[in-house]
Amino acid sequence: MLPYSQLIESQIKQQQLGTQPKSLYEPIRYIMGLGGKRLRPTLVLLAYSLYKSDADKMVTYAVAVEAFHNFTLMHDDIMDKAPLRRGKPTVHERWNTSTAILSGDVMLVKVYDMFLSLEGNQLKETLHIFNQCAAEVCEGQQWDMEFESKNKVTEAQYIEMIRLKTAVLLGFSLEFGALLAGASDNDRKGLRDFGVNIGIAFQLKDDLLDVYADQKRFGKQVGGDILSNKKTFLLIKALEKARGKEKAELAKWLTAKKFDKRKKVKAVTAIYNSIGVQAFTEDKIEEYFQRAFLNLEQLSIKNKAESLIDFTIELANRQK
């Protein structure tokens, strides 16, 4: 059997999405062709393979999850007014906002189409857990937008936001793979909880890399969250711990309307370093990865989970 990444890419290229009007369907092929980690469909196949050996037959369903993920990215980019996605123009920039909205809507419809070959109770249960996940992703995105105008966001509020916006889809991916394989309710729940915990750790790692990654390896601007005053775990922790001069200087940079970008990133990073924000974040990342590994201990197939563990360790150690 081909490696999962090749199976996923091949299936994406084979998808029959529609032809006319071209301006509606071409943006879908465009964003799906931009690549990325393909983390979510890979998790579907990894979870399935814990129970059965014919994961290649499940690739269509795995790609449905990737299509949903890219639908959320297409709409998120509109809301964020983002010019680039994976180093290329976003759909609303290359085409226009109205087209991006409609193409995203069609993508979501196509996700349901890809599920339709499931039978009976499996289809019903898939739609039940998928719809719950999709609603939670939207809730997380709304919280993220609301945080932009809030003066104070607590650590607990932030963790809940990233749980909804990012982590529940990883949890769904793993539970979905287990559901396709006919796993027990206990194993499905354990894999879902595992996915949610690695999803939270995954987003916290993104927050950390945005400040501390090697620019050449990271692939996007280091310090982008600092420049936009995005309420990441690092900023929330800095606001919580800063005292005296550090607190005053941090407030100055957060309220500055005009500034030199390099100076701001350098100054805020220096405050983070002084407070020890990097260590706080690394500890929190480790906490959620450890929670995830404990979830695996509850599975009936815990002795077969090496591939999932290896994949998670690779995520934990990534530098981009």
Fold of 1-117: Farnesyl Diphosphate Synthase (1.10.600)
Could you give the CA distance from residue 234 to residue 13 in angstroms, rounded to a whole number? 39
Which phi and psi (to 5°) does residue 15 adopt? -60, 130
Q: What is the pLDDT of residues 136-162, one digit of tens each?
A: 999 999 999 999 888 899 999 999 999
Domain over 135-320 is classified CATH 3.50.50.60:
no
Could you give the CA distance from residue 71 to residue 63 in angstroms, rounded to a whole number? 12
The domain segmentation of the chain, as residue ranges, is 1-117, 135-320
What global pTM score does this model have? 0.91
Strand partners, 110: none
State mean pLDDT over 197-202: 96
3-state SS assignment for residue 85: strand
- Tokens 């890979």 belong to residue: 42
Q: What is the pLDDT of residues 202-227, one digit of tens each?
A: 999 999 999 997 655 544 556 889 99
Whether the domain at 1-117 and the domain at 135-320 fall into the same CATH topology: yes
* Angle, helices 22-32/97-115, rounded to nearest 10 degrees: 70
